[in-house]
Amino acid sequence: MSADGIAAPPGASPLAAIRAVPRAGWHVATVAATHRETPNASRIELDVDGWPGNAAGQHLDVRLTAPDAYTATRSYSIASSGDSTRVVLAVDKLPDGEVSPFLVDDLRAGDQLEVHGPLGAFFVWRPAVESGDDRPVQLIAGGSGVVPLYAMAHAHADASDPTPFRLLYSVRTPRDVYFADEWRALAAASAPLQVDLVYTRQAPDDWPAPPGRITREALEAAVIPAAERPRVYVCGSTGFVERVADWLVGLGHAPGDIRTERYGGT
């Protein structure tokens, strides 16, 4: 956040120093690649003409236009960050959705759509050298809510940032884990990251705990203690975020240290 009073990096203009994130705008995006991320989700790589770059954790709006000028707009978290005009999304298919089934099943390389962004400067993480905040970071994801948190962990590794990171990731089955290979690489990188998984429907054979919804006790055991004043980012469905945020406050985390992003819609 700009209000933390951090000195401008050398060479930056005063305005760039105080502007936390690039200005949002509408851009035409061309699909560079799309592939299955999980049985129910696709990773979509977009080349976005004029994209000003984005901070880790930001989102964008996708607008689709039908031949009769009907449009549908939905928000998606961005899995990538930095200056690149290559923007990566990972989209979960909602069963009754109007937009997500199209994006997951029908979109192919070369297709074009419109994107609006980058959006939101609140649910973002910036390296400690920029933010001046080196408190540990706890990430908590439910399902596809892992996408903006993956962007944060990736930016953290890219910056070789020394801030301790821990991720608690609740997911239905092992096949539903987003960025499975990437998490292994990030955990092995020099930036400190610990990943804890909770399986809600089906766990791997050798998993120590039976599958089930995360409990308050499991949460307490797997998150950085409140005494260490971690900054906490929670993203998932409304119900998941609400439960987790209530438990965190009950465990002594200051509400102001918890940032949440609920998702809904189709």
Partner 1 sequence: MSFITRGFSGRGRERDDRLPPGQTLVGDFPVLSAGPTPDIDTADWAFTIRTESGVDHTWTWDEFMALPIEDVTTDIHCVTHWSKLGTGWRGVALDTLFEGVDTDYGYTMAHSYGGYTTNVPLEDLLDGKAWVAFEFDGEPLDPEHGGPARLLVPHLYFWKSAKWVRGLTMMEEDEPGFWEQNGYHLRGDPWKEERYW
Partner 2 sequence: MTGHLDGNALAGPLADFFSFDITTTTGRCNACGTVAEFARAMVYMSGAGTVVRCATCDHVLAVLVDTGERAWIDLAGVSAIEVRR
Q: Out of 6, 22, 47, 102, point to the residue binding partner 1 (CB under 8 A).
A: 102
Regarding 67 and contact with partner 1 (CB under 8 A), the answer is yes
Taking the C-alpha atoms of residue 86 and residue 190, their distance in angstroms, rounded to an integer, is 25
Question: With contact defined as beta carbons under 8 Å apart, do 229 and 203 qualify?
Answer: no
113 binds, among partner 2, partner 1, none (CB under 5 to 8 A by kind): partner 1
Regarding 13 and contact with partner 1 (CB under 8 A), the answer is no
114 binds, among partner 1, partner 2, none (CB under 5 to 8 A by kind): partner 1
Strand order in the sheet with 71-77: 71-77, 59-65, 112-119, 25-38, 41-48, 86-92
Q: List the structure tokens of 258.
A: 């918890």
- Report the candidate in 255, 263, 211, 215 with the shortest Cα–Cα distance to residue 237: 263
Strand order in the sheet with 258-263: 193-199, 165-171, 137-142, 231-237, 258-263
Choose one: 38-46, 59-67, 185-193, 205-213; the region binding partner 2 (CB under 8 A): 59-67
**Nearer to partner 2 among residue 122 and residue 207 (C-beta):** 122
Q: Which residues in 24-43 contact partner 2 (CB under 8 A)?
A: 24
- Report the candidate in 175, 180, 250, 188 with the shortest Cα–Cα distance to residue 215: 250
Q: Is 34 left (phi over 0), alpha (psi -120 to 50) or beta?
A: beta
What is the crossing angle of helices 146-158 and 180-188, to 10°?
30
194 binds, among partner 2, partner 1, none (CB under 5 to 8 A by kind): none
Name the phi and psi angles at 146, rounded to 5.
-75, -15
Question: With contact defined as beta carbons under 8 Å apart, do 116 and 25 qualify?
Answer: yes
**Nearer to partner 2 among residue 146 and residue 186 (C-beta):** 146
- How near is the Cβ of 134 to partner 2 at its closest, in Å? 21
- How near is the Cβ of 63 to partner 1 at its closest, in Å? 8
Q: Out of 72, 119, 159, 189, point to the residue binding partner 1 (CB under 8 A).
A: 72
Choose one: 1-9, 67-75, 205-213, 242-250; the region binding partner 1 (CB under 8 A): 67-75
Q: Out of 46, 48, 56, 59, point to the residue binding partner 2 (CB under 8 A).
A: 59
Regarding 121 and contact with partner 2 (CB under 8 A), the answer is yes
Q: Out of 135, 172, 229, 259, point to the residue binding partner 2 (CB under 8 A).
A: 259
**Nearer to partner 2 among residue 54 and residue 170 (C-beta):** 54
Footprint of partner 1 (CB under 8 A) = 28, 64-72, 98, 102, 106-107, 111-114
